[in-house]
Amino acid sequence: MPFYLADISHPAGLIAKGIISDPIPHCHIVTTTTHKTLRGPRGGLIMMGKDFENPFGIRLKNGNLKKMSSLLNSGIFPGNQGGPLEHVIAAKAVAFGEALTDDFLHYSVQVKKNAKVMAKAFMDKDYQIISGGTDNHMLLIDLRNKNITGKEAEEALVKADITVNKNMVPFDDKSPFVTSGIRIGTPAITTRGLVEADMQLVVDLVDEVIMNFNDSEKLRGNCFKSQCINGRKRFV
**29-33 and 5-7 as β-strands: parallel, antiparallel, unpaired?**
parallel
CATH number for the domain running over 5-99: 3.40.640.10
* 173-218 confidence digits (pLDDT tens): 999 999 999 999 999 999 999 999 999 999 999 999 999 998 887 7
* 114-167 confidence digits (pLDDT tens): 999 999 999 999 999 999 999 999 999 999 999 999 999 999 999 988 999 999
| Cα–Cα dist 154/5, whole Å | 31
Provide CB contacts within 8 A for 9, sequence distance 6+. 31, 32, 33, 36
Q: In this predicted structure, what is the pLDDT of residue 127?
A: 98
Q: In this predicted structure, what is the pLDDT of residue 80?
A: 72
pLDDT-derived band of residue 236, with 50, 70 and 90 as boundaries?
Answer: very low
Ranges in the chain annotated CATH 3.40.640.10: 5-99
With beta carbons less than 8 A apart as the criterion, state whether 42 and 64 touch.
Answer: no
| Cα–Cα dist 189/212, whole Å | 23
Ranges in the chain annotated CATH 3.90.1150.10: 110-219
With beta carbons less than 8 A apart as the criterion, state whether 236 and 184 touch.
Answer: yes
Select from 3.40.309.10, 1.20.140.10, 3.90.1150.10, 3.40.50.620 the CATH code of 110-219.
Answer: 3.90.1150.10
